[in-house]
Amino acid sequence: MRSHFLILSLFCIAFLSAQQRPSRVPATPHPIEITQPNGDKLTIRLHGDEWRNFRTTIDGFVIVQDQDGFFRYAKIDKNGNYVPSKMIANNIENRSKSEVKFLKNQIKKEKLFFKPNNTFLQ
Asked whether the beta carbons of 35 and 24 are under 8 A apart, the reply is no
pLDDT value, residue 118: 44
Q: Which residues contact 63 (CB under 8 A, 6 or more apart)?
A: 44, 55, 56, 57, 71, 72, 73, 74, 89
Extents of the domains making up the chain = 32-109
Asked whether the beta carbons of 54 and 82 are under 8 A apart, the reply is yes
pLDDT-derived band at 76, boundaries 50, 70, 90: confident
pLDDT value, residue 120: 44
Q: Taking the model in full, what pTM does it have?
A: 0.69
pLDDT value, residue 7: 72
CB atoms under 10 Å from CB of 64, counted, come to: 19
What's the CA gap between 36 and 46, in Å, rounded?
A: 16
pLDDT in tens, 94-114: 999 999 999 987 755 445 555
pLDDT in tens, 4-33: 666 766 666 766 665 556 667 788 889 999
pLDDT value, residue 114: 52
